[in-house]
Every structure is written in C-alpha cells, then in structure tokens.
C-alpha cells in the first residue's frame, strides 16, 4: 500500500465541489414543478386559539391550507416525549408556534398573503424565566413545569459542610445561543397516499425525520423516504428541528398532491428554530485546608422552552459534566429542565456541557481564590487521574494527564510570564490585558447506554472495479464525515483513498448509522466503517480470492471475481458495545461515556476601559482526543468551535421581548467576523482509544465547553472583577464596573 | 394584485452575454440563481451581512442580495462558476481544497470571491489585510483560521507561478 | 424575503435632468434609490411598502470627487470604496476615511453612498459625525435649480430632514480643515467589522496658546439625529483644558445627549461611553 490515509491531511472528499459552487444544497436543487409553502404562526406566547381568519384581497381558495385536521396520522412531533403538536390545535404555548400551513405556486403572492392570515387568540399569562418556572408562577407544562430531572450522588455532601475548611458558593448563568449555520433551514417534499412521503432537505439526522413522518402520516417507515441535500452547517440546529419542517412540507405536499418547497428566510430561521438552552447553575463547594475538594453540591437548571424536544438528553450531558474533570469524594448534582413559554430550546454543539462547564470553570477560579491558591495550583491538586472515579462512579481507565495538558497549554501561551507582565503593565492603562484558562473534559458519543439502544448499522459495497461505496446515514455537515469514512475504509482495505465513494444519505439506500450528533460520527460510525471493511475482506478471503498480502490491483480483481460469482459484494456492520460498560440510568451511576476527550484552553484578552469592549487576542487550545485522523480537519473543528465559544462568551446575545427573539437578523445577532477572532493555536495529544475508529475519540463538541470560561477567566484577570454570566457584553461589563466601584471591588 | 412590468436588459455573466427578463426590483441574487441557474451563489441572510451572495460586478465585490436586477443593466458579472478555467481550478480554489478552507461549504463561494479580490489588491497581504478583506464574509464553521491559511498558501503559489 | 418584488417599480434615468423631471412631474411618487444598501434591507425585511424607485446608480452627474485649495466636493453617489481610494481625501479628511473603512464590509463599501447615508437619516450612521465636524454643506437640487445648505441643521428629527419632495442631494462639500487641527474619530460598533454603531463620536479641535481655538463635536446613536454638540463646543471654546474643565464639559455634553435602550445597546452605556470618548478626544488636544 502506497500511503496510509489516516493521520494524513488528504483533500476533503467533496472539497472540489464546494470551491466551484457545484455542490447542491436544498435551495439549489431544481424542482421546476414545486409550489411554495409557509407556516402561519402564533402571535402570542400563551393562550387559546379562538379562530383563524383569512383577510385581505387574496384569492384564498387558490391556496392550499393545512390545519391539524388534515394530519393523516398523529398530530405530534415524535421525539422523546409526545408533548409537541405538529400544528397547534387549541392551545398556544410559545410565540411563533405553527398553527396552520399554506402553499401557493406564486412565491410572491404567498409572501404577501401570509401577512394577512390572522389568528385570533385569548391571551394567558406566559412565563419566560427559569426562576418563574421553578417557582411555578404559572404551571404551563405537566404538573410542575419540570420537563426532566436527574440526580447524581456520590458520598454524602451534607456530612461535609460543618467540618470543611471553607465552603464557597456561586451562581452562574449562560444565555441562549443561536447556531447560526450560514445556510438557513429548508425542505422539499413530495407525498401522496399511493407513493408515501419523500423529503429532501438540509439536515443532520435522516432517520429521526423518517421516524417522525411515520407517526405524522401513520404509514410504515419504508414509505417515508428522507434524502439529504448538502447541508450548510448544523451545529445541532439541524438535529431535531428539520423534523418540524419536514412534517410541515410533507403535509402540504400530501394535501396538494404537488411538490412543495419550504425554505426559511434568515429572520424566520432565527425567530423560530431551537437555540442553546439558557442555564442557571448554583454551586456550593467545600475544601480542606490544602485546597482539596471535599464536597460539591450543584444545582443545574435549564430553560427548556415550551416543549420537551431533546431537552432531557441535553440536561443529561450537562449534569454529567457539571463537576468537571476533578476528583471529589462527595458530589451531588440536582438537575432540572424547566418549561417556559419561549420557543423550545434544543441541540447545540456541546449539548448542555458548555453551560455546566462555564459554571464549574468560573467557580473553580473562585474556589481557588478562597483557598489562597493560583487557579492552576488549585486545579493541579484536584484533577481526576487514571484509576480514580468520576461523579457517576466511573473508573477512569484511560491514560489521563490533565496536569500535563494544562502545563503544555500554559507554556504554549506563555501564561506565567504574561500574567505577571499584565499585572504590572495594566496599572493606569486604558487597555487592560488579561490571561485565563479553563480545564475540562467531554464525554464522547451518546451518554450511557445510548449507543447500545441506537444499535447503529452501516453498509459497504464494492463494484467490479474494486471501488468501494460506504452506505451510512451520517451526514456531511462540514465536519468531514465523508473524508474520515474514506480514510478509514481505504486504510482498512489497504486501497487508495480515491477508490472510496460515500453514498448520499437516503433512507432508501443507506442503513441507519445513527444521528449525526454527540461527536460520534468519526469515533463510532468511523469504527463501523472499519468493521465493515474487515467483514468485506473476510468475505473475499473466505472465497479464497485474496491472500493476507495483496496489491490494490489484486483487491480489484478479487472484487470482480466475487461479484461475477455472487452477484454483489456487500456487507453490513453493526455496533457492538465495548466490553465492561455499565450504566445505571435510574440512579445516574456508572460508565457515562466510553471515553472522554481532555483539554486545557488558554485565552488572552484586551479590555478597553473607554468602551468596555473585550477582544480576544490569542487562544491556545491543547487537547487529547485519541488518534488524530486528519490533522487539518481536526484543527479546523477546534478552531470553529473556539470561535463559537468566543461568540458565546462576549458577542452572541439573543434579545427576547414578549417571548420572541427580536434581534433575529445577522446585523443584530453578533457572531465573530474574520476581524474579531483571535489567532487560534491548536495542539493535539494522542492517546488512542481502542474502540474508536483507528483510535479516535470524539472532538466535535469539545471546543465549545472550555472556550467561553477561558475567555471570561481572562477578563477576570484583566479587570479583577467577578463575572458570573455569559454573554458578557460591553454593556454588562460597564454595569459590573459601576456596581463594583460602588461596592469597593475592582482595580484602582 | 397587479404586478409591475418585467424589464429586459443585457449583461455579461462569466464572460457570456445574456439577456435578462426580470422584475426591476428582483434581487440580482435570485436572477442569477433562478433565471441563470447559477446556484453557486448562496443566500445566507438576504440583508448584506453574511457575504454568501458575494459576486463581482465590473470587477468589484458586491452583495448580490442587495442589488436590484435593473441596476445590473450592462453589468459585467462574475460568479463562483466563472472562477475556474474549465476543469482547471483557480489557485485560490485549489488552496481552499488542500487547506480545508471549506468545511460545510456554504460560505465558500462568497469567501472565494472576496479572497480573489483581496489577492488582486494585496498580492502579499498582511494578516490585517486578510482579516479586513474577508470581514464581510461570515463563516460559522472554520473560525477563519483555515481560510486565512488557504489565502496565504494561494498567495505563495501565485508568487511561484510568476 | 418578506416583500413581494413584483409590487415595486424602478426606472433608471440616465441623466440628472431626467431624474429632476421625474421628481417634479409627479411630486411624491418617486423614491430615490442609490446603492440600495439601506432600501434593499428594508424591502427584504418586509418593512418597506411598495414604491416607485428612481435608480440614481447610472447618473454620471452624481459621481466623482473634485477639490480646490479650499474644499473638496463629493458627488452624492460617491461610495465608501471611492472615498478610501482617493489620496486627497485620505490626506485632508481622515475621519471620512475611517468612517468609510468601518462601514459594513468591502462589498457594502462598493455600493453604499454618502448621499444615501445622509438621506437615510439614521442616527447610527457613521459618516454624518465626520461631515458635521468638518462643517459640510449639501447641494440640494430640483428642476428649479440648486441651493447649498449647511449640513448642520439639515436633519430635524428622527428620519426627518429639510429636503423637498422634488429635491435630491446632488453634492456634499467640505472645507479643508486647518492642517494643525486634531481629528478624532471613534466608532464603537457591535464588533470590529460589519457592525452598526452603538455610539460614534467625531471631534475636530485646534489649540492656540494653550487654549481651545476651535472645537467641533458630533455624536451618533445618542439622539434622534446625529448630534452636533453646540453647547459643549461653546463651553470649551477659549478654555485651556484641565481635568475640571473636561469634567464640566462632560456634564454639559451629558445634558445634550438623550441616548436610549434598543436591541443593540443601552442608554446608560451609551451615555457613559460618550463621555469617555469625549474625554479621550479632549485629552488628545
Ligand atoms: C451589511 C450592511 C452594513 C452596513 N454598515 C453600515 C455602517 O457600518 N455604517 C453606516 O453608516 N451604514 C451602514 N450601512 C447602511 C448603508 O450602507 C449606508 O447608509 C449607505 O451609505 C446607504 O447608501 P445607499 O446608496 O446604499 O442608500 P440607499 O439604500 O440607496 O438609500 C438610502 C436612503 O437615501 C435616499 N437617498 C439616496 N440617495 C439620495 C440622494 N442623492 N438624495 C436624496 N435622497 C437619497 C433614499 O431614498 C433612501 O431613503 C450598512 C448596510 C448594510 C446592508
Ligand atoms: S445573502 Fe447577501 S449578504 Fe447574506
Ligand atoms: S464553511 Fe461552513 S460557513 Fe464557512
């Protein structure tokens, strides 16, 4: 074999089609016969629907109209619970909730007409905050507003407080964050009772959509076909929400008998789709006089919005990551997701962990201060090491060296020298510089027994020329799935990377390799590729067509002969859980994840005291992620995540008014531009994971966890001020400085 | 509702003469994508903010979502489809492939147009030139580092070619 | 897209005479349309009722930058890109350059025009503060002829200005400032690029024997219009600058501005940052 593909930065599989503009996203596909659909939404956050009125001078009888009554199957979004209707019937639980669908061949007319459908409602009092929901100011969901709760217990925290050297408390908040993929969501559908339903779209998880269409139309899965179109970014935002759009588009298609296209404009996309759950975390921590953790009591609360969507899973990951990569004999995490009358919050890269990681990494700095230790010394005394147990009691068996990662990160960023220099030079300066870090871990793949339940499968097929086609439902959303699958297939089969093709995800053609989420695609599905490739080789060897050693030509001719004789050469691989994983879902105890990625991030900031603007000037990201399959793409994943984390920390604020995002424009929701990102320097350490593809662990979500707290810890260093929330905008810093000045805190 | 009349006008797109028939206030973006079937130019926001719709008119970068069709009367338009020469990618395109400057790819066509202009004006760009030159093109995937590297590498290749 | 483009008319006159004839023949019918970077966004977001547009883009008389020893004149259609490429503008009017450079991204700078920025009358616009402190004048033209008016006072209220129905802005003229003067421009946007101002302050000052000889200050995003701070200027003129004078100026300035909360920022923040910038400017004199 000429050159192993793994570990080498081979060109991205679909790279060429992306730089020429040839690749087709949903809005690029041509459906000349398509008519256009749109959603009529609730004008209030909570209330009763009294009626729908079609007003204005429009040929209303020409419009296709779909209400809940037109739904052939069940009126619900099939996700985890059944609480969310596809179309609201009599109750409204959030602004912009879908009430009715209309379609028309004339796009221009549709745009105007939608403004003239009036939904008459009787308003009721909505609630918008975690606190109001927790206090049951109004009960808007179930009996107590609690969408989901978890409790993690290790030891007994209550035995510790009295005798502890110190007890430190803190309260931390994170805001909603918009995924802001640059391609807005969209779907095209064809549907009829005879042919079933087909949808094409921008999406992460084809089989989630298939599952929801089955329920909505009451037809078998094989009559619900979901086809992926090139997807312009997802970050979790195209995990569950596309099921909503797919359902709406398909219902219009079903009723009209026509192909229906529904592409959101940016304003609609931002106002109605899911965002990162806002959070509120309360920490109470006990330490001994050596600065060792004795007890950690955490209350972790998420704002789930009006319906449960995937909130329970987001809460779960946030819960498990709530005490960070630290060893503590006594831990209690009480986690609750609460309903509010905001549009449902949902998946966003990191899935609850960035929220709880912000809290713990800010809190650890606070505890370090109370202990009289530097942030790094305090952490070094408390890091979790091999042979120790996490909060859920999981025994860490991999080689973990958090202290080593932190040391590397501090060296690469010249942390100590800079910290000392800034402290000296900041005095009297208009620009204050600061440097800070965060240390964290991220569990790879689904939580607990998630992967076992998913039982993913993947196919691989050869043609007579020895070209290999990988059949997987995992979608390429920019993260490089196509490329990694090809690398793994090529190296396992010992053939060229160029001889691998990836089938376009289409539920009619590819088996269910699971959703494209949870940093699982390279690690778990990539491993299924390796397993399939081995099965394929085994078939050829069983048929005596291939020896232990072979050239690519011999491989090609073996495929040719096999197919000549058997008609096809195709294998299906299935997930099998690595041995020794035990997870107790009831008590939240056991092996939460098969493996973890570990990291230490350092941020350097400048704060302008004239304008209160924080700019991130340098960023060092050191992480251990198992085998690095593709160095350039892996670095790209980290850099992209860091930029989103910087946004989460100091730029990206969802401004709510009356239950809806009012800055739903790219001009007013501020993500970093090329001028705003720091230089991001990425370093990898590799501890191959035996059950990940070629030793890989997941990396996709990791960078979101630690970036924001690193940035805010740096701002704290620059300004000597406590900041316990993000996004922390200049306006917020101004207010903090004002109140610190009034309370005698802060510098000068 | 009565529509205004469509207008007919000529322009050049990627070197080809075209006669366009469009509503005068139709967005040039839609004319390019729908009437000319050149879907490489993308819509990310429709408000001039994201740069996914960036094209060149008479050699200058513009956001095609903000240009009414009628203002393209007589214009010389270049879109991403006009960047490669036949099968031969432009150095900048090649560099984006090799250096992973495109992840999900939705910002890429616009980004490449901006990168071409940048290298035309700054054959040897400083980091600040690059950041400034690309600031009108938002990318949510890459954190921009690999895009900067793609531009710098392209600039090296261009120098070697001369 | 939230508007129906089939409901919007546009014609593209080739000359200024044609534009003027259109404007006067049916007063009130036509809306001027320059680079469209404001109007298209409004149309896109469904906030612009159907209109009849007169495209100015092809009108040569509205283009070009010319200068004499005393002043510089910009056609209303001058784009931010053209401003930045002009060496004399860079030499004499650095604040206009800085504002241009920080307006949108390059693609916006190739379409957005000075005339549009003025006539759009947004208090958050970035060129007006510089134009105000440079004592700009506007040439307004109708079929009846042209008149020059001072830019200061042109805006009378939120999105209101002294422009007749059949008139348009044809030129903007700025006198060459004293070469010994200090130019101060600071835009505080939502981020470094592609950003709308949360507050923007321009100042021009000239000292003479330790005292303020001339000072002009204008701020955006702190009132219904871009504000020329006459009271603060009057107070400062003739004074020598020290901490207590600056503090008093800051008080007066605080009385002139009336910033509010909106989606981009807060009134409290704008007020404080405005004062900080004023201080920074005065300390640079
Ligand atoms: C992404 C983006 C970023 C932006 N960033 C900034 C920024 O940072 N700072 C900033 O200040 N602005 C910004 N803008 C706003 C806009 O670009 C400027 O206001 C620009 O100067 C408007 O000029 P235009 O020619 O495009 O105006 P148009 O949209 O064509 O017109 C604007 C208004 O002016 C009127 N008008 C135009 N020309 C004349 C004339 N000659 N006489 C009388 N009336 C006239 C029109 O009728 C209309 O009411 C931004 C816009 C976008 C889309
Ligand atoms: S679509 Fe034109 S700038 Fe975003
Ligand atoms: S590559 Fe996805 S937005 Fe740039």
Tell me the CA–centroid distance for residue A243 and ligand 3, in Å. 23
Segment (H or E) for A285: strand A279-287
Q: Which residue of B has its CA nearest to A682?
A: B145
CA distance B108 to A654: 26
**Residue A670 touches chain C, beta carbons under 8 Å:** yes
Q: Does residue B18 sit within a domain?
A: yes
Query: A579-619: per-residue pLDDT in tens?
Result: 888 999 999 999 999 999 999 999 999 999 999 999 999 99
* Chain Cα centroid distance, residue B128: 21
Number of domains in chain B: 2
Asked if residue A726 has pLDDT above 50, the reply is yes
Do A481 and A356 share a structural domain?
Answer: no
B3, B47, B73 member nearest C44 (Cβ): B47
- The residue whose CB lies within 8 Å of the most ligand 2 atoms, and thus the one to mutate among B28, B33, B41, B46, is B46
Do B109 and B47 share a structural domain?
Answer: no
The DSSP annotation for A62-89 comes to GSEEE-GGG-SS-SS--SSSS---SS-S
pLDDT mean over A520-549: 95
Do A384 and A474 share a structural domain?
Answer: no
Q: Are A462 and A580 in contact (CB under 8 A)?
A: no
A22, A477, A641 member nearest B104 (Cβ): A477
What per-residue confidence (pLDDT) applies to A349?
Answer: 96
- Give the structural domain span for B24: 7-81
- Residue where a domain stops, chosen among B54, B81, B108: B81
Asked if residue A2 has pLDDT above 50, the reply is no
pLDDT mean over C175-186: 97
**Residue A159 touches chain C, beta carbons under 8 Å:** no
Q: If you average pLDDT over every residue of chain A, what do you get?
A: 96
- Give the structural domain span for A495: 15-24+450-574
What per-residue confidence (pLDDT) applies to A581?
Answer: 87
Say yes or no: CB of residue C129 within 6 Å of ligand 1. Answer: no
Do B115 and B75 share a structural domain?
Answer: no
pLDDT band, residue B162 (cuts 50/70/90) = low
ipTM > 0.90 (yes/no): yes
What per-residue confidence (pLDDT) applies to A746?
Answer: 47
The DSSP annotation for A159-196 comes to GTGGG-SEEEEEEEEE--B----SS--EEEEEEETTTE
Q: Does residue A241 sit within a domain?
A: yes
Query: A174-204: per-residue pLDDT in tens?
Result: 999 999 999 999 999 999 999 999 999 999 9
pLDDT mean over A664-679: 97
Do A672 and A524 share a structural domain?
Answer: no
pLDDT mean over A121-128: 98
Do A691 and A550 share a structural domain?
Answer: no
Helices A375-382 and A353-371 cross at an angle (nearest 10°) of 110
What per-residue confidence (pLDDT) applies to C122?
Answer: 97
- Bridge-based pairing of strands A260-263 and A279-287 is unpaired
Say yes or no: CB of residue C76 within 6 Å of ligand 1. Answer: yes
Q: What is the CA radius of gyration of chain A?
A: 26
Do B95 and B73 share a structural domain?
Answer: no
Q: Does residue A162 sit within a domain?
A: no
Q: Does residue B118 sit within a domain?
A: yes
Asked if residue B161 has pLDDT above 70, the reply is yes
Q: Do residue A230 and residue B89 have CB atoms under 8 angstroms apart? A: no
Tell me what percent of the residues of chain A surpass a pLDDT of 70. 99
Do B115 and B70 share a structural domain?
Answer: no
Which of B100, B116, B138 to substitute to test the interface with A, most A CBs within 10 Å? B100
Which of B27, B84, B141, B144 to substitute to test the interface with A, most A CBs within 10 Å? B141
What per-residue confidence (pLDDT) applies to A748?
Answer: 39
Do A631 and A548 share a structural domain?
Answer: no
pLDDT mean over A626-647: 97
Q: Does residue A327 sit within a domain?
A: yes
Query: A190-247: per-residue pLDDT in tens?
Result: 999 999 999 999 999 999 999 999 999 999 999 999 999 999 999 999 999 999 999 9
Of ligand 2's atoms, which has the minimum distance to the CA of residue B45? 4
Q: Does residue B86 sit within a domain?
A: no
Q: Does residue B20 sit within a domain?
A: yes
Query: B94-117: per-residue pLDDT in tens?
Result: 999 999 999 999 999 999 999 999
What per-residue confidence (pLDDT) applies to A449?
Answer: 82
Chains that touch A (3 or more CB pairs under 8 A): B, C
pLDDT mean over C59-65: 98
Do A516 and A378 share a structural domain?
Answer: no
Query: A372-404: per-residue pLDDT in tens?
Result: 999 999 999 999 999 999 999 999 999 999 999
Q: Does residue B65 sit within a domain?
A: yes
Contacts of C269 in chain A (CB under 8 A): 612, 730-731, 734-735
Asked if residue C80 has pLDDT above 90, the reply is yes
Do A466 and A505 share a structural domain?
Answer: yes
Q: Does residue B49 sit within a domain?
A: yes
CA distance A332 to A295: 8
What per-residue confidence (pLDDT) applies to C189?
Answer: 97
Q: Which CATH number fits domain C182-284: 3.30.460.80, 3.40.50.11540, 3.90.1170.10, 3.30.390.50?
A: 3.30.390.50
CA distance B9 to B18: 8
Tell me what percent of the residues of chain C surpass a pLDDT of 70. 100
Query: A284-311: per-residue pLDDT in tens?
Result: 999 999 999 999 999 999 999 999 999 9
Asked if residue A670 has pLDDT above 60, the reply is yes
Do B156 and B96 share a structural domain?
Answer: yes
What per-residue confidence (pLDDT) applies to A517?
Answer: 85
Asked if residue C258 has pLDDT above 60, the reply is yes
Contacts of A233 in chain B (CB under 8 A): 103-104, 106, 140-141
pLDDT band, residue A446 (cuts 50/70/90) = confident
- Residue where a domain stops, chosen among A272, A307, A340: A272
Q: Does residue B1 sit within a domain?
A: no
Of ligand 1's atoms, which has the minimum distance to the CA of residue C126? 11
Number of domains in chain A: 3
Q: Where along chain C do its domains lie? A: 5-55, 60-175, 182-284
- Residue where a domain stops, chosen among A244, A272, A300: A272
**Residue C229 touches chain A, beta carbons under 8 Å:** no
Task: List the single range of A493-502, A736-745, B137-146 with lowest mean pLDDT.
Answer: A736-745
Write the CATH number for A389. Answer: 3.30.365.10
Q: Does residue A155 sit within a domain?
A: no
Which of A359, A280, A354, A287 shows the shortest CA–CA distance to A323? A359
CA distance C74 to C90: 14
CATH class of the domain whose range is C60-175:
alpha beta
**Residue A62 touches chain B, beta carbons under 8 Å:** no
What per-residue confidence (pLDDT) applies to A745?
Answer: 54
What per-residue confidence (pLDDT) applies to A747?
Answer: 44
Q: Do residue A615 and residue C264 have CB atoms under 8 angstroms apart? A: no
CA distance C161 to C120: 10
- Residue where a domain stops, chosen among A272, A293, A311: A272
pLDDT band, residue A743 (cuts 50/70/90) = confident
- In A615-729, where does DSSP find H-type helix? 631-650, 702-719
- Beta-carbon count within 10 A of A7 CB: 16
Q: Does residue A216 sit within a domain?
A: yes
- Residue where a domain stops, chosen among B63, B81, B99: B81
Which of A116, A268, A609, A611 to substitute to test the interface with C, most C CBs within 10 Å? A611
Q: Are A343 and A305 in contact (CB under 8 A)?
A: yes
- The residue whose CB lies within 8 Å of the most ligand 2 atoms, and thus the one to mutate among B52, B57, B109, is B52
Strand-by-strand arrangement of the A569-574 sheet: A500-502, A468-471, A457-462, A569-574
Strand partners, A383: A326
Q: Does residue B98 sit within a domain?
A: yes
Asked if residue C257 has pLDDT above 70, the reply is yes
Q: Which ligand is nearest to the CA of C195?
A: 1
Which of A417, A441, A724 shows the shortest CA–CA distance to A596? A441
């Amino acid at each position: 074999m000429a050159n192993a593909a793994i570990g080498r930065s081979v060109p991205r599989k679909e790279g060429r089609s992306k730089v020429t503009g040839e690749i087709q996203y949903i809005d690029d596909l041509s459906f000349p016969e398509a008519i256009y659909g749109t959603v009529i939404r609730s004008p209030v956050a909570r209330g009763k629907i009294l009626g729908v009125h079609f007003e204005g001078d429009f040929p209303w009888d020409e419009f296709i109209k779909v209400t809940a009554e037109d739904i052939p199957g069940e009126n619900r979004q099939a996700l985890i619970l059944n609480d969310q209707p596809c179309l609201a019937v009599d109750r409204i639980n959030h602004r912009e909730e879908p009430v009715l669908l209309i379609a028309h061949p004339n796009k221009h007319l549709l745009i105007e007409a939608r403004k003239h459908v009036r939904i008459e409602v009787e308003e009721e009092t909505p609630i918008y905050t975690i606190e109001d929901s927790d206090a049951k100011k109004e009960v808007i969901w179930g009996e107590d507003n609690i969408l989901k709760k978890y409790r993690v217990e290790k030891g007994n925290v209550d035995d510790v407080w009295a005798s502890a050297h110190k007890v430190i408390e803190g309260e931390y908040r994170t805001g909603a964050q918009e995924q802001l993929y640059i391609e807005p969501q969209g779907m095209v559908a064809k549907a009829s009772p005879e042919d079933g339903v087909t949808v094409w779209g921008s999406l992460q998880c084809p089989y989630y959509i298939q599952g929801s269409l089955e329920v909505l139309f009451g037809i078998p899965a094989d009559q619900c076909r979901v086809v992926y179109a090139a997807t312009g970014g997802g970050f979790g935002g195209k995990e569950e929400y596309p099921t909503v759009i797919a359902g709406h588009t398909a219902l219009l298609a079903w009723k009209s008998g026509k192909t229906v296209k529904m592409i959101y404009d940016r304003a609609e996309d931002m106002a109605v789709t899911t965002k990162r759950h806002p959070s509120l975390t309360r920490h109470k921590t006990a330490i001994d006089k050596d600065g060792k953790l004795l007890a950690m009591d955490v209350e972790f609360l998420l704002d789930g919005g009006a319906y449960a969507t995937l909130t329970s899973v987001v809460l779960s990951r946030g819960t498990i990551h709530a005490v960070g990569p630290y060893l503590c004999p006594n831990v209690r995490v009480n986690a609750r997701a609460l309903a509010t009358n905001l549009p449902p919050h949902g998946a966003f890269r990191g899935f609850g962990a960035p929220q709880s990681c912000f809290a713990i990494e800010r809190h650890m700095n606070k505890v370090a201060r109370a202990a009289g230790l530097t942030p790094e010394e305090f952490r070094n005394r408390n890091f979790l090491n091999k042979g120790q147990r996490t909060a859920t009691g999981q025994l860490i068996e991999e080689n973990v060296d958090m202290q080593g990662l932190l040391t590397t990160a501090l060296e690469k960023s010249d942390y100590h020298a800079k910290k000392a220099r800034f402290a000296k030079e900041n005095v009297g300066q208009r620009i204050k510089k600061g440097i800070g870090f965060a240390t964290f871990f991220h569990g790879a793949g689904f939580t607990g027994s998630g992967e076992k339940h998913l039982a993913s499968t993947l196919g691989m097929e050869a043609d007579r020329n020895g070209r290999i086609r990988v059949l997987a439902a995992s979608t390429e959303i920019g993260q490089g799935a196509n490329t990694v699958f090809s690398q793994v297939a090529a190296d396992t089969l010992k053939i060229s990377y160029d001889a691998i093709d990836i089938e376009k995800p289409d539920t009619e053609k590819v088996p269910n390799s699971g959703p494209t989420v949870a940093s699982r695609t390279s690690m778990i599905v990539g491993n299924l590729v390796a397993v399939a490739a081995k099965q394929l080789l085994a078939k050829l060897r069983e048929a005596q067509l291939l020896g232990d050693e072979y050239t690519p030509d011999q491989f090609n001719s073996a495929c040719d002969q096999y197919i000549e004789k058997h008609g096809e050469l195709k294998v299906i691989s299935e997930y099998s859980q690595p041995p020794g994983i035990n997870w107790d879902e009831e008590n939240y105890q056991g092996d939460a994840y098969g493996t973890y990625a570990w990291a230490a991030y350092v941020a350097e900031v400048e704060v302008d005291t004239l304008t209160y603007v924080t700019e991130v000037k340098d960023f060092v990201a050191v992480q251990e992620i198992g085998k690095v399959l593709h160095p350039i793409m892996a670095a790209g994943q980290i850099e992209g995540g860091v930029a989103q984390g910087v946004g989460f920390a100091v730029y990206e604020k969802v401004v709510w008014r009356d239950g809806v995002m009012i800055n739903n424009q790219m001009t007013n929701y501020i993500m970093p531009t090329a001028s705003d990102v720091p230089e991001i320097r990425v370093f990898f350490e590799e501890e191959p994971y035996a059950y990940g593809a070629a030793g890989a662990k997941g990396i996709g979500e990791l960078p979101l966890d630690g970036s924001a707290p690193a940035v805010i810890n740096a701002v704290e260093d620059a300004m000597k001020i406590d900041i316990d929330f993000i996004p922390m905008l200049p306006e917020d810093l101004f207010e903090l400085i004002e109140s610190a000045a009034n309370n005698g805190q802060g510098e000068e | 509702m009565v529509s205004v009349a469509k207008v007919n006008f000529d322009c050049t797109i990627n070197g080809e003469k075209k006669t366009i028939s469009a509503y005068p206030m139709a967005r040039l973006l839609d004319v390019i994508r729908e009437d000319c079937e050149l879907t490489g130019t993308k819509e990310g926001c429709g408000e001039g903010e994201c740069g996914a719709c960036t094209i060149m008119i008479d050699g200058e970068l513009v956001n095609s979502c903000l240009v009414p069709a009628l203002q393209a009367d007589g214009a010389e338009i270049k879109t991403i489809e006009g960047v490669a020469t036949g099968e031969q990618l432009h150095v900048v395109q090649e560099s984006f492939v090799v250096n992973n400057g495109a992840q999900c790819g939705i910002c890429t066509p616009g980004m490449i147009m901006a990168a071409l202009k940048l290298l035309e004006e700054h054959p040897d760009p400083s980091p600040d030139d690059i950041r400034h030159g690309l600031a009108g093109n938002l990318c949510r995937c890459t954190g921009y580092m690999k895009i900067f590297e793609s531009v710098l590498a392209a600039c090296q290749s261009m120098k070697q070619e001369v | 897209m939230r508007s129906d483009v089939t409901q919007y008319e546009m014609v593209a006159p080739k000359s200024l005479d044609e534009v003027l004839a259109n404007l006067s023949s049916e007063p009130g019918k036509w809306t001027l349309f320059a680079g469209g970077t404001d109007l298209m966004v409004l149309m896109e977001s469904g906030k612009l009722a159907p209109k009849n547009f007169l495209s100015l883009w092809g009108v040569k008389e509205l283009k070009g930058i010319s200068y004499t020893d005393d002043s510089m004149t910009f056609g209303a259609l001058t784009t931010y890109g053209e401003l930045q490429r002009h060496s004399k503008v860079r030499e004499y009017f650095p604040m206009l350059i800085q504002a241009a450079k920080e307006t949108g991204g390059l693609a916006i700078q190739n379409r957005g025009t000075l005339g549009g920025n003025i006539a759009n009358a947004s208090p958050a616009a970035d060129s007006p503060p510089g134009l105000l402190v440079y004592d700009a004048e506007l040439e307004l033209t109708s079929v009846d002829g042209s008149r020059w008016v001072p830019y200061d006072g042109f805006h009378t209220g939120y999105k209101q200005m002294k422009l007749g129905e059949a008139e348009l802005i044809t030129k903007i003229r700025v006198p060459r400032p004293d070469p010994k003067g200090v130019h101060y421009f600071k835009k505080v946007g939502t981020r470094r690029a592609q950003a709308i101002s949360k507050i923007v302050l321009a100042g021009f000052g000239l000292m003479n024997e330790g005292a303020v000889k001339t000072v002009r200050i204008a701020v955006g995003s702190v009132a219904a219009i871009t504000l020329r701070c006459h009271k603060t200027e009057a107070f400062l003129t003739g004074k020598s600058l020290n901490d207590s004078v600056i503090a008093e100026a800051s008080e007066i300035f605080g009385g002139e501005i009336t910033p509010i909360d909106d989606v981009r920022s807060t009134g409290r923040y704008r007020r404080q940052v405005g004062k900080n910038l004023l201080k920074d400017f005065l300390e640079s004199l």
